[in-house]
Structures are given as structure tokens and as C-alpha cells.
């Protein structure tokens, strides 16, 4: 399945993440997953929320720069070895992953999100 | 209207030299008699007013600097009694005291003449509507253009700076054809027009008269595109007169100096010796006709060059090169001379950033100078992948190194997070304690 994500540019300054979270809670948006990629100078916050349109509008209004995109999402069993098996298929077929993150769900399953430049093949391999 | 004052603006070199010589002899005498600080300077080198017989003797005269003005704060440089002074202006320095100038009624009239000439150079006449968004007050920008526009007989809109949305409404509703302000404020107005969703074709703006801060050729092009105008450079400094000391013409080959009022020289900033035409150096002015506060060989710290050959516009007035920086704005980073205008030129060529918004932070870590340039990442260039954003940052660092010859650390910040003021923008923060 495809999961829509909102990416946000985050300056390396005090209080920016807090301002970002404040903008979302102020708009009544619930965050389902949050991941931060950081470098020495800036960060990129990647979000999946219950309403990405609303989230993006609220962030833009608060002066944040955003970008939307789709990730591939897969559910795997919440136990050792299950992710290795799944992602191993992609590796064997030469599908590159740009980044991966996850969040645990109740019910013994984990949702794994990853960015790839070959969404179609990745989805086909994981069916 | 081609010229505001055809006789002066197209005068032969011999006639101009004769006029300047007569005025120099007079102004040296008046300054010597009226301003004690200048008399002391001349006495110290054994020079008498009668030793100055014409413009060819100008290099014998001592220089005047901003330090002289500060030492005689507030009114000590005036050359006439206070009863003759009709107005004062003052410019803020980032360090030290204000620089105060005093004008007589004739000085105000001469200045208005300069700005009327400048407006005609930009193609304006009585039928134009001139929207003045320079600050009105102690700063000379607003009142300078205001009096010039009135003298010319254009419809003058004294908007002053600030409240950009209201300015845009006035420009649009009144059908302003000319806009006068600082280049950075012109940029703000252009950006706000875009953000508000207006179509620039619904505006009647035709020309812009921009000055009071150095700006790059690229920034000029960007303003011309955003506002759909032809941009002209106006130059001035409060010590000499406000805007209107010089002005660019439609041939855009430098700025014509109102040299019947202000005699320009270019000197080597280190040796202080005059340099030949076309050679870059520090701009020095002598106010030939000023009464209130005449200045002899005033060192402007602005970097320029002069050309005396005739311009295609028909004016014989000497041309000066657009000011590319100031001797005191020049940053020396690890021994390399860097001008903010060079940095701006590099940034304006990079599409992934908002090139006109930047800030330079200089510091010293250990014994090594560091330079950080903060630039705003354009929203369209942002991606969810670190490597893409990092590539933009590294490419700017690479271009900067290639152009400046010294490394700068580039920091990307969010759009609209850097200050872009309504008047002069502070672009450099030098934290070094040397």
C-alpha cells in the first residue's frame, strides 16, 4: 500500500521542532508517525498524520517549507527476523531504499514505511 | 523632456572646468573662514585659500573624513551662522555618533535641482506619478526625491517606508509610473505583489529610482522582472547631499555626476593619490556650491571609478561606476578581500534559494576567520531526502569558493526567516574582536 507523507524542512535552531508540533496540535492534527533525519545544519521531519492536507496547510501557515510524497508501507509481524525477510526480497532484486522508518502497532503487527525510486517493482515484489 | 538643465548637463569640458574652478576657489575661501576645523587643517599644512586658483589645485587640499564630522558633532562643521540654516539631516552610523548636516534654503534648492535632473534622466516628466517609498525624516532619501519630484512638477506621492500592502494599494490605485526606494524595499514590494496574487500588468509602473545601498546587477534584473520596470541607479550620501549626487541614464553606462555641484575624484584608498580614468578606487567629493556645510575632498569610503568620455545620451557630465562596495564594508577573510556584492552575485544565480535574502556572519575561531552565509531555501527546491538538500548546500559552497577565493559555510534557513528591512538592510554581522 502507498502511504502519503509530509516532509518538513527544519532549521537547526532552538524551538523549531516545538513550533512545528504546536502548529499541528493547534490545527487538531494527530501524528501517526514522526521521523527526523538530521545533519549538522538542518533536519528533515517526516510525518504521517490522520489528515495530511490539514497538516500541510497548518505548517505552511506557520512559515514551514513542506514537500508531499508517497512511501511504500508494509505490515510485518512484530517478531525477530520478519523485516529481514521482507526487505531481503527487495535487496535481492536490486531495488534501492532511500530511507526506512517504522512504527509499532498494536495487534502484533508493525508498519514499515520506506522511500524508493521504484515504487511499482517494490510493491510487486512484496505482494 | 530630454534634459532638465540642458546648459549644464551638456556643457563642454572647458566651460565645466571654468565653472568648477570658480566655485572651488569660492568654496575653499568660505569653508576656511566659516568652519574652524577646516581652517586648522589648512593651517597645519601651511595652505592659504589664495593658494587655490582653480580645479587643478584640488590635490593640494587636505581630505575631510567622517571622523571630522563626528569630532565636531553636532553643528561644528557648519560654515554659516545657525540663523542661515534651514534644515538638518542626520545619518545613523552603526558605530559612534550620528553624522549631522545642515542645509541653507539655497542648498535645499540645489539639491531639488539635482533630483529633478535625475528624474528626467530616468525618463520622467510633469505627467508622471512618482511614488516615494524612501523613508522621510532625518534620512535624506524621502525628502530628496520628494523635492526633486515637486520641482519637476510630477505628481508626488509622499508614501515614506513601511506598511507594504498599503503602499501596493496606493501604487496600483493612483497609477504610479515611477517608484523611488531602496533596492531591497523594491524587492519586498515586488514579492508582496506576487504573494497577494496581483498581476503586475495591472500596474502602470514604468521606472524605478533605487539607491542608498549597494546592489548587484543580478538583483537589478530580478527587480526589473518582478515590477516590470526599468531600474535606474541613484547615488547620494547625506554628507554631500542626499540622493541625486549622481544618476544613471537610459544608456546605463555608469551614473552621471552633477559635477557643477559635486566635484568627484577617485583616489587609491591606501596612498590617497588620484588614479587615472577607469581605475577603481575610493570616491572623494568636494561640494562646490554648498553653503550650510561645505565639505572639501570628503572621503566617501565608496568604491567606484570615473569616465570622462561623452555618453550617448548627450550628457557631458562625468560618469561614475555603480558603487560596488565600501572600503569599510570590505571584509578581509583570512587575508582575502571579500565584498558583499560578490556574494550577492553568486547567490542570485542559484535558483534553489531566495537569492536576495541573505546574511553574512563573520567570526574568528582560534586564530582563523570563519564566514557563514545564511540563505533561504526556496520552497520548490525542498525535498524529503537529505542528499538532495545537502547537494544544494554543497553546490553553493563550491560556487562561493570559486568566486571569492575563500571558503564560506552555507547554512540553509526557511523562507522569510531572514530580515529584509524597509530601509537599509543589515547583511553583515562581524563578531570578530580584533
Where are the alpha helices (H) located in B35-104, listed in sequence order? 36-44, 66-71
Q: Which three cell numbers stand for residue B323?
A: 558603487
Contact B379, B349 (CB under 8 A): no
Contact B206, B176 (CB under 8 A): no
HSE, CB side, 13 Å, CA atoms: give it for residue B411. 19
- CA-nearest of A31, A30, A38 to A9 is A38
- Region B78-87: mean pLDDT is 97
Window from B48-52, B114-118, B197-201, B363-367 with minimum mean pLDDT: B363-367
Whether residues A44 and A59 fall in one domain? yes
Which chain A residues are closer than 8 Å to B390 by Cβ? 39
The predicted pLDDT at position B423 comes to: 61
The predicted pLDDT at position A123 comes to: 86
The predicted pLDDT at position B42 comes to: 97
Helix (H, G, I), strand (E, B) or coil at B303: strand
| Residue B202 touches partner A, C-beta closer than 8 Å | no
Give the gap in angstroms from C-alpha A107 to the nearest C-alpha of chain B.
Answer: 30
Cβ pairs A/B, distance under 8 A: 49
What CA–CA distances, in Å, run from B411 to A62, A66, B212, B389, B396? 21, 18, 28, 11, 10
pLDDT band with cut points at 50, 70 and 90 for residue A79: confident
**Count of other CB atoms within 10 angstroms of residue A75:** 14
Interface contact A42-B412, CB threshold 8 A: yes
- The secondary structure of residue B54, as a DSSP letter, is S
Where is A101: in which H helix or E strand? strand A97-104
Window from B256-260, B324-328, B331-335 with minimum mean pLDDT: B324-328
Q: How far apart are CA B68 and CA B35, in angstroms?
A: 11
- Region A101-120: mean pLDDT is 80
Helix (H, G, I), strand (E, B) or coil at B275: coil
- In terms of CA atoms, which chain A residue is nearest residue B394? A41
Asked whether the predicted pLDDT for residue A110 surpasses 90, the reply is no
Interface contact A65-B379, CB threshold 8 A: yes
In CATH, what number is assigned to the domain containing residue A92? 3.30.70.260
The predicted pLDDT at position B98 comes to: 81
Interface contact A67-B389, CB threshold 8 A: no
Residue of B260 and B185 predicted with greater confidence: B260
Query: Least CB-CB distance to B416: which of A63, A98, A115?
Result: A63
Q: Which of residues 76 through 95 in chain B touch A, CB cutoff 8 A? A: none
Whether residues A8 and A41 fall in one domain? yes
Whether residues A61 and A110 fall in one domain? no
Residue of B218 and B236 predicted with greater confidence: B236
Superfamily for the B331-430 domain? ANL, C-terminal domain (3.30.300.30)
Whether residues A63 and A12 fall in one domain? yes
Q: Where are the domains of chain B?
A: 1-326, 331-430
The predicted pLDDT at position A104 comes to: 62
Whether residues A43 and A87 fall in one domain? no
Whether residues A32 and A84 fall in one domain? no
| Residue B314 touches partner A, C-beta closer than 8 Å | no
Contact B84, B118 (CB under 8 A): no
Interface contact B382-A65, CB threshold 8 A: yes
| Residue B384 touches partner A, C-beta closer than 8 Å | yes
Q: How far apart are CA A122 and CA A113, in angstroms?
A: 12
Whether residues A57 and A75 fall in one domain? no
Give the gap in angstroms from C-alpha A92 to the nearest C-alpha of chain B.
Answer: 24
Interface contact A37-B386, CB threshold 8 A: yes
The predicted pLDDT at position B94 comes to: 46
Q: ipTM value of the model?
A: 0.84
Query: Least CB-CB distance to A65: which of B385, B411, B414?
Result: B414
Query: Least CB-CB distance to B385: which of A63, A64, A98?
Result: A98
The residue segments making up the domain with residue A17 are: 2-68
The predicted pLDDT at position B215 comes to: 79
The predicted pLDDT at position B96 comes to: 55
Residue positions counted in chain A? 127
Asked whether the predicted pLDDT for residue B349 surpasses 50, the reply is yes
CA B55 to chain centre: 25
Tens-digit pLDDT profile for residues B111-158:
999 999 999 999 999 999 999 999 999 989 999 999 999 999 999 999
Whether residues A101 and A83 fall in one domain? yes
Interface contact B382-A63, CB threshold 8 A: no
Q: How far apart are CA A52 and CA A5, in angstroms?
A: 7
Tens-digit pLDDT profile for residues B268-285:
887 899 999 999 899 999
Number of structural domains (chain A) is 2
Q: Which CATH class is domain B1-326?
A: alpha beta
Q: How far apart are CA A25 and CA A31, in angstroms?
A: 9
pLDDT band with cut points at 50, 70 and 90 for residue B373: very high
Q: Which three cell numbers stand for residue B46?
A: 601651511
DSSP secondary structure, B362-389, as one string: EEEETTEEEEEEEEEEPGGG--S-HHHH
The predicted pLDDT at position B432 comes to: 80
- In terms of CA atoms, which chain B residue is nearest residue A11? B413
Interface contact A99-B385, CB threshold 8 A: yes
| Mean pLDDT over the full length of chain B | 92
The predicted pLDDT at position B276 comes to: 95
Whether residues A83 and A107 fall in one domain? yes
pLDDT band with cut points at 50, 70 and 90 for residue B311: very high
Whether residues A79 and A43 fall in one domain? no
The predicted pLDDT at position B329 comes to: 74
Asked whether the predicted pLDDT for residue B238 surpasses 70, the reply is yes
In B177-239 the beta strands, taken as DSSP E runs, fall at: 178-181, 207-210, 230-237
Where is B17: in which H helix or E strand? helix B13-34
Tens-digit pLDDT profile for residues B183-199:
889 998 999 999 999 99
Beta bridge partners of B429: B361
Q: Which residues of B327-361 are buried (b: 16+ CB within 10 A; e: fewer)?
A: eebebebeeeebbbbbbbbbbbebebbbbbbbbbb
What CA–CA distances, in Å, run from B327 to B195, B281, B346, B358, B396? 37, 9, 20, 21, 26
Which chain B residues are closer than 8 Å to A39 by Cβ? 386, 390
- Region B365-387: mean pLDDT is 90
Asked whether the predicted pLDDT for residue B202 surpasses 70, the reply is yes
Q: How far apart are CA B384 and CA A63, in angstroms?
A: 17
Asked whether the predicted pLDDT for residue B72 surpasses 60, the reply is yes
- Region B386-413: mean pLDDT is 92
Whether residues A15 and A33 fall in one domain? yes
The predicted pLDDT at position B434 comes to: 56
Whether residues A104 and A62 fall in one domain? no
Amino acid at each position: 500500500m502507498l502511504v502519503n507523507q509530509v516532509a518538513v524542512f527544519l532549521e537547526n535552531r532552538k524551538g523549531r521542532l516545538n513550533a512545528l508540533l504546536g502548529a499541528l496540535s493547534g490545527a487538531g492534527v494527530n501524528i501517526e508517525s514522526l521521523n527526523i533525519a538530521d545533519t549538522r545544519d538542518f533536519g528533515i521531519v517526516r510525518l504521517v498524520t490522520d489528515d495530511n492536507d490539514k497538516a500541510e496547510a497548518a505548517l505552511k501557515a506557520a512559515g514551514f517549507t513542506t514537500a508531499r510524497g508517497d512511501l511504500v508501507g508494509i505490515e510485518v509481524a512484530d517478531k525477530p527476523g520478519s523485516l529481514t525477510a521482507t526487505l531481503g526480497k527487495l535487496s535481492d532484486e536490486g531495488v534501492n531504499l532511500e530511507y526506512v522508518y517504522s512504527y509499532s502497532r498494536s495487534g502484533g503487527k508493525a508498519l514499515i514505511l520506506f522511500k524508493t525510486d521504484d515504487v511499482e517493482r517494490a510493491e510487486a515484489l512484496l505482494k | 523632456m530630454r534634459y532638465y538643465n540642458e546648459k549644464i548637463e551638456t556643457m563642454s569640458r572647458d566651460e565645466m572646468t571654468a565653472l568648477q574652478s570658480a566655485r572651488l576657489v569660492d568654496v575653499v575661501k568660505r569653508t576656511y573662514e566659516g568652519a574652524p576645523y577646516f581652517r586648522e587643517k589648512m593651517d597645519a599644512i601651511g595652505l592659504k585659500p589664495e593658494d587655490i586658483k582653480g580645479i587643478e589645485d584640488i590635490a593640494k587640499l587636505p581630505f575631510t573624513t567622517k571622523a571630522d564630522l563626528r569630532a565636531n558633532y553636532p553643528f561644528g562643521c557648519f560654515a554659516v551662522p545657525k540663523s542661515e540654516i534651514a534644515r538638518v539631516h542626520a545619518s545613523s552610523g552603526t558605530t559612534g555618533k550620528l553624522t549631522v548636516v545642515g542645509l541653507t534654503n539655497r542648498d535645499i534648492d540645489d539639491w531639488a535641482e539635482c533630483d529633478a535632473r535625475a528624474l528626467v534622466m530616468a525618463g520622467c516628466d510633469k505627467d508622471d506619478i512618482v511614488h516615494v517609498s524612501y523613508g522621510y525624516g532625518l534620512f535624506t532619501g524621502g525628502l530628496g526625491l520628494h523635492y526633486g519630484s515637486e520641482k519637476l512638477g510630477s505628481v508626488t506621492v509622499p508614501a515614506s517606508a513601511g506598511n507594504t500592502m498599503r503602499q501596493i494599494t496606493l501604487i496600483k490605485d493612483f497609477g504610479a509610473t515611477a517608484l523611488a526606494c531602496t533596492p531591497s524595499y523594491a524587492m519586498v514590494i515586488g514579492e508582496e505583489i506576487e504573494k497577494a496574487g496581483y498581476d503586475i500588468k495591472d500596474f502602470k509602473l514604468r521606472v524605478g529610482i533605487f539607491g542608498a545601498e549597494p546592489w548587484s546587477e543580478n538583483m537589478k534584473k530580478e527587480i526589473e522582472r518582478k515590477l516590470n520596470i526599468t531600474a535606474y541607479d541613484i547615488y547620494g550620501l547625506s554628507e554631500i547631499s542626499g540622493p541625486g549626487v549622481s544618476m544613471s541614464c537610459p544608456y546605463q553606462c555608469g551614473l552621471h555626476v552633477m559635477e557643477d555641484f559635486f566635484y568627484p575624484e577617485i583616489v587609491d584608498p591606501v596612498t590617497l593619490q588620484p588614479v587615472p580614468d577607469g581605475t577603481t578606487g575610493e570616491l572623494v567629493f568636494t561640494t562646490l556650491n554648498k553653503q550650510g556645510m561645505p565639505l572639501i575632498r570628503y572621503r566617501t569610503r565608496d568604491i567606484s571609478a570615473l569616465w570622462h568620455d561623452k555618453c550617448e545620451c548627450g550628457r557631458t557630465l562625468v560618469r561614475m561606476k555603480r558603487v560596488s562596495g565600501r572600503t569599510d564594508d570590505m571584509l578581509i577573510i583570512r587575508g582575502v578581500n571579500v565584498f558583499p556584492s560578490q556574494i550577492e552575485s553568486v547567490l542570485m544565480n542559484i535558483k534553489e534559494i531566495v537569492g536576495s535574502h541573505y546574511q553574512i556572519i563573520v567570526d574568528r575561531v582560534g586564530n582563523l576567520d570563519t564566514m557563514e552565509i545564511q540563505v533561504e531555501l526556496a520552497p520548490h527546491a525542498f525535498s524529503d531526502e537529505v542528499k538532495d538538500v545537502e547537494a544544494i548546500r554543497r553546490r553553493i559552497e563550491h560556487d562561493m569558493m570559486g568566486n571569492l577565493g575563500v571558503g564560506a559555510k552555507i547554512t540553509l534557513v526557511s523562507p522569510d526567516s531572514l530580515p529584509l528591512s524597509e530601509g537599509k538592510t543589515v547583511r553583515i554581522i562581524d563578531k570578530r574582536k580584533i
